[in-house]
Amino acid sequence: MARPKKNGTYLNVCIETSIYKRLEEMCDEAGQTKTVAVERALKKYFDEYDAKQKIMKELTARKY
């Protein structure tokens, strides 16, 4: 039985070969797909970015 299709959007990128090799090695070691690894990395990056932006807005609001 086929897996249900993922609700997603395709993303084609060109990354440095050294970064791709590290991604591939990590995924092989962790037993996960490159898609899952990239999704997790992006989510973590976005969460950290959002948290920093929130702090910056709070600091800016206190100055005035």
Q: Quick one: pLDDT at residue 39?
A: 97
- In one-letter notation, the amino acid at residue 53 is Q
pLDDT grade for 64, boundaries at 50, 70 and 90: low
Instruction: Enter the tokens of residue 52.
Output: 């920093």
How confident is the model over 20-58, as pLDDT tens digits? 999 999 999 999 999 999 999 999 999 999 999 999 999
What residue has token string 């807005």?
A: 57
Distance CA 30, CA 15 (A): 21
- In one-letter notation, the amino acid at residue 39 is E
